[in-house]
Amino acid sequence: MARQLPRFEPVGVDERRVLWVKYRGHRDVQRLLLELAQAHQVMEEIEAYFSSIQKVWAEEDLGQLVAMEKIRLLLVEQGLRQSAPAGLKAAPRRDEPDEPEPALLD
């Protein structure tokens, strides 16, 4: 299994566009940004295939398949990451403790 990455703020579309303009001509940065864009396109395609499979599965009344539910949750998480406003921290993973609430001023 792949090593887990630390939590980080997702790179939004607007930020990617700014980086593309800022680093125009820097082949490595442009390649990384293209890799991000391609990964987002693949996730959208996987989500479309998943929806088709899920629809047929439900129509056949085959119950709930655990693997399908896990894939659905991963797709939801990725969708939330991609649509999260800049500056919003990613939700903690199950194995990470929540960050403490800031102390309220009296």
Any domain includes 105: no
- What's the domain range around 45? 13-83
Q: What angle do CA 40, 16, 74 make, to 5 degrees?
A: 30
DSSP 7-22: P-----HHHHHHHHHH
Total domain count, the chain: 1
What are the tens digits of pLDDT across the range 85-98?
Answer: 555 555 566 665 55
Residue of higher predicted confidence among 43 and 23: 23
Q: In this structure, is residue 96 part of a structural domain?
A: no
pLDDT digits (tens, 9 = 90+) for 46-70: 888 888 888 888 888 877 778 888 8
Specify if 89 maps to a domain: no
pLDDT of residue 27 exceeding 50, the answer is: yes
The reply to whether 100 falls in a domain is no
- From the CA atom positions of the chain, what is the Rg in Å? 18
pLDDT of residue 84: 60
- Averaged confidence pLDDT in the chain: 79
